């Protein structure tokens, strides 16, 4: 079914409106409704240093040099590393990987590790999802005589570190076209580099006697890294994820299939599965386990090894949840003293550095403010911090500014997320610096926050067919939000707490139809307390996102509740 500005039929009308409200021009509705690589893929050569990096790697392949991929320990780093390792191995190159330990080495390449890799025989090192700000480490590598290529997407400073090439759409000297792709995750940048490498080898006649690698088969890795890194799902990223989900559905990658089995995911995955089921398991290895588990899983060709690693990652993920819950409770206990702060900066001794990013995200959702959670190490006299921001507040730039003001040992990131290392004695000054710098931006962002609704309907309109229609405009994520609908007016038939702190509601409308709504982790919210204790005899409008509930004998539509308002 083709979509366009002149579409006919209710389903098409809804889809067209969804596209238009997300900034799509009427003449481009069809292009964005079914995002393809052909429509959105830019020429990789538009990015600074891309051809230089591709040529250097192609030369290494031709000369049979030893190449090491140095990745970060999160999902974006693991998928980026796995993508380049697999591609290079398909090209017949000797490709290994190095993933630093989060606790012992911290974020980004260290000079000691780069020099060690060179001493062990690496002729070329490619860092992925890190390195853009690693001036000291890359200077050490340069002095050791090893070429290092940086493939990153984090914020850059005006002065770039010494490298053989630095590919990053967020370089300050990028062209307008390349800079417009600053929302790419590192794995997306790595995929573009892969295209450029193959193109260079093609011009050298490398494929006259061998088959070209299947680059499209790598899009499952790109989709997972993009969604798990909370990259904005518009433009090229939507094409990456849409096409990557098709690759994932084929379950051809042994490690990915094992990961889906460990996640009890039997159907074809959707974008939210990457962020809430698969991604957290990969992350668990880098957060509290072995940092190499993710890359090992995604590159293995042994089904038994894949099952073992996937099961281990699932167990680590459960352990991570328990640690996270404890840190979150202690962090939330500090909020009472920070009501007037524009940025929540929470710090504690003994907090596990592997979960502070997740907790920062939870605090941000709870308070509606940028939040930074710092794990303090009394013995070292420093703290490791991770931050999450709100739309309209560039946290990465603020962290870089704090580092340049000599408040941090290290720090960087992008608009929505950042990491840092801070001397314990500078915590108060850092907090004051952030609040002074970001207070106006936070106030403006919070004042402009309103709940955008895409559709208003009676309970009878909440059907599986509607969910299917809305899903057709996906994949959804940051920058391309899932549709939000309002259902009402309704009366509350039943309201209770299920699980640990989830609110469950049964609501009925004037049309005689009823439906189930659920609000996750919302038992203590004002909305929950209102529906639990003040709903008798009142009518409400309920707002949220529609999903399919397939636990019963037949699929039904339910509302994932986000807000409620009196209708009388």
Does the structure show a pLDDT above 50 at 2? Answer: no
Mean pLDDT, residues 315-321: 94
pLDDT in tens, 170-179: 999 999 999 9
pLDDT at res. 3: 33
Q: Of all residues in the chain, what percent carry a pLDDT higher than 90? A: 80
3-state SS, one letter per residue, for 201-228: HHHCCHHHCCCCCCHHHHHHHHHHHHHH
Provide long-range contacts, Cβ within 8 A and 24+ apart, for 503-511.
503/527, 503/528, 503/531, 503/532, 503/561, 505/531, 505/542, 505/561, 507/459, 507/540, 507/542, 508/459, 509/458, 509/459, 509/460, 510/458, 511/458, 511/459, 511/460
Looking at residue 520, what DSSP letter applies? T
pLDDT at res. 297: 98
User: Can you name the CATH fold of 455-566?
Assistant: OB fold (Dihydrolipoamide Acetyltransferase, E2P) (2.40.50)
**Cα-Cα-Cα-Cα dihedral sign, residues 365, 367, 372, 378:** negative
State the average pLDDT for the chain.
93
Angle at 259 between CA 258 and CA 260, to 5 degrees: 90
- As a 3-state breakdown, the chain gives helix, strand, coil percent values, each rounded to 5, of 45, 20, 35
pLDDT at res. 8: 39
Binned at pLDDT 50, 70 and 90, residue 479 comes out as confident
pLDDT in tens, 12-45: 688 888 999 888 999 998 889 889 999 999 999 9
Pair type for strands 94-98 and 417-423: unpaired
The CA-based diameter of the chain, rounded to the nearest angstrom, is 78
Number of Cβ atoms within 10 Å of the Cβ of 117: 23
Mean pLDDT, residues 211-229: 97
Q: How many residues does the chain have?
A: 568
Contacts of 308 (CB under 8 A, 6+ apart): none
Q: Of all residues in the chain, what percent carry a pLDDT higher than 70? A: 98
Mean pLDDT, residues 546-553: 82
* Matching CATH number, 44-313, of 3.40.50.2300, 3.90.1640.30, 3.40.50.300, 3.30.230.10: 3.90.1640.30
User: Listing from the earlier edge strand, what are the strands of the sheet with 410-414?
Assistant: 344-349, 371-377, 382-388, 417-423, 410-414
Mean pLDDT, residues 499-507: 93
pLDDT in tens, 398-442: 999 999 999 999 998 888 899 999 999 999 999 999 999 999 999
Q: Which two tokens stand for residue 84?
A: 């380049």
Pair type for strands 124-128 and 147-151: parallel
Helix (DSSP H) and strand (DSSP E) numbers for the chain: 21, 16
pLDDT in tens, 434-468: 999 999 999 999 887 778 899 999 999 999 999 99
Taking Cα atoms as reference points, which of 79, 480, 438, 554 lies closest to residue 294? 79
3-state SS, one letter per residue, for 283-337: HHHHHHCCCCHHHHHHHCCCHHHHHHHHHHHHHHHHHHHHHHHHHHHHHHCCHHH
Distance CA 316, CA 336 (A): 32
Listed in order, the ranges of the chain carrying CATH 3.90.1640.30 are 44-313
3-state secondary structure of 396: helix
Binned at pLDDT 50, 70 and 90, residue 5 comes out as very low
Q: Which two tokens stand for residue 487?
A: 């259902």
pLDDT in tens, 66-77: 999 999 999 999
**Cα-Cα-Cα-Cα dihedral sign, residues 270, 271, 276, 278:** positive
Does the structure show a pLDDT above 60 at 6? Answer: no
Does the structure show a pLDDT above 90 at 55? Answer: yes
- Region of poorest pLDDT, from 3-17, 274-288, 328-342, 372-386: 3-17
CA distances from 540 to 449, 455, 517 (A): 22, 16, 13
Distance CA 515, CA 527 (A): 18
- Tokens 């989060």 map to which residue? 102
Taking Cα atoms as reference points, which of 221, 172, 229 lies closest to residue 479? 229
In DSSP notation, 22-51 reads TT--GGGHHHHHS--HHHHPPPGGGSTTHH
Number of Cβ atoms within 10 Å of the Cβ of 504: 16
pLDDT at res. 510: 93
Does domain 333-447 sit in CATH 3.10.310.30? yes
Mean pLDDT, residues 86-111: 92
Q: At residue 312, what are phi and psi to the nearest 5 degrees?
A: -65, -40
In DSSP notation, 347-384 reads EEET--TTTHHHHHHHHHHHHSS-EEEEEEETTTTEEE
Listed in order, the ranges of the chain carrying CATH 2.40.50.140 are 455-566
Q: Are 48 and 167 in contact (CB under 8 A)?
A: yes
3-state secondary structure of 459: helix
Helix axes 219-228, 279-288, angle to 10 degrees: 70
Does the structure show a pLDDT above 90 at 82? Answer: yes
Does the structure show a pLDDT above 80 at 1? Answer: no
Mean pLDDT, residues 541-548: 95
pLDDT in tens, 190-199: 999 999 999 9
Listed in order, the ranges of the chain carrying CATH 3.10.310.30 are 333-447
């Amino acid at each position: 079914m083709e979509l366009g500005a002149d579409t006919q039929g209710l389903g098409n009308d809804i889809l067209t409106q969804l596209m238009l409200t997300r900034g799509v021009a009427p003449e481009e509705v069809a292009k964005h409704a079914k995002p393809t690589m052909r429509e959105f893929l830019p020429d990789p050569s538009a990015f600074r240093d891309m051809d230089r990096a591709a040529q250097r790697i192609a030369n290494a392949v031709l000369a049979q040099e030893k190449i090491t991929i140095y990745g970060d320990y999160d999902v974006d780093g693991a998928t980026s590393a796995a993508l380049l390792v697999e591609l290079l191995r398909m090209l017949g190159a000797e490709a290994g990987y190095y993933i630093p330990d989060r606790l012992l080495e911290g974020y980004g390449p260290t000079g000691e590790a780069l020099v060690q890799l060179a001493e062990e025989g690496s002729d070329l090192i490619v860092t992925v999802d890190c390195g853009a700000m690693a001036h000291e480490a890359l200077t050490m590598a340069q002095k050791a005589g090893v070429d290092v290529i940086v493939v990153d997407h984090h914020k850059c400073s005006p002065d770039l570190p010494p490298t053989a090439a630095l590919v990053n759409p967020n370089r300050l000297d990028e062209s307008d076209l390349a800079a417009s792709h600053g929302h790419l995750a590192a794995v997306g940048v790595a995929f573009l580099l892969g295209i450029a490498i193959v193109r260079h080898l093609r011009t050298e006649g490398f494929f006259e006697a061998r088959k070209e690698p299947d680059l499209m088969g790598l899009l499952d890795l790109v989709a997972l890294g993009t969604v798990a890194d909370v990259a904005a799902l518009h433009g090229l990223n939507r094409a990456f994820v849409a096409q990557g989900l098709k690759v994932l559905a084929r379950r051809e990658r042994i490690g990915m299939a094992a990961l889906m089995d460990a996640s009890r995911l039997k159907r074809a995955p959707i974008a939210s599965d990457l962020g809430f089921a698969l991604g957290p398991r990969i992350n668990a290895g880098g957060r509290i386990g072995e940092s190499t588990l993710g890359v090992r899983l995604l590159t293995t060709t042994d089904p038994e090894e894949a099952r073992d690693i996937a099961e281990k990652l699932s167990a680590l993920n459960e352990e991570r949840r328990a640690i996270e819950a404890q840190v979150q409770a202690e962090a939330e206990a500090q909020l009472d003293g920070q009501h007037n702060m524009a940025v929540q900066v929470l710090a504690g001794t003994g907090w596990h550095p592997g979960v502070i990013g997740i907790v920062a995200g939870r605090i941000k959702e709870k308070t509606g403010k940028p939040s930074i959670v710092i794990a303090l190490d009394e013995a070292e006299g420093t703290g490791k911090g991770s931050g999450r921001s709100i739309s309209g507040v560039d946290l990465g730039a603020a962290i870089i500014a704090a580092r340049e003001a000599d408040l941090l040992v290290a720090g960087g990131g992008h608009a929505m997320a950042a990491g840092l290392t801070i001397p314990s004695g500078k915590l108060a000054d850092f907090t004051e610096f952030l609040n002074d710098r970001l207070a106006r931006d936070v106030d403006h962002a919070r004042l402009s926050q309103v709940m955008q609704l895409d559709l208003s309907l009676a309970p009878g309109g909440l059907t599986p067919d509607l969910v299917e229609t809305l899903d057709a405009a996906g994949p959804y994520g940051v920058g391309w939000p899932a549709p939000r609908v309002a259902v009402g007016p309704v009366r509350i038939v039943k309201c209770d707490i299920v699980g640990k702190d989830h609110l469950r509601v049964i609501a009925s409308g004037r049309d005689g139809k009823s439906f189930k709504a659920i609000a996750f982790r919302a038992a203590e919210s004002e909305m929950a307390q209102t529906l639990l204790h003040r709903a008798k005899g009142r009518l409400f409008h309920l707002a949220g996102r529609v999903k399919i509930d397939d636990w019963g004998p037949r699929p039904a539509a339910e509302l994932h509740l986000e807000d409620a308002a009196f209708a009388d």
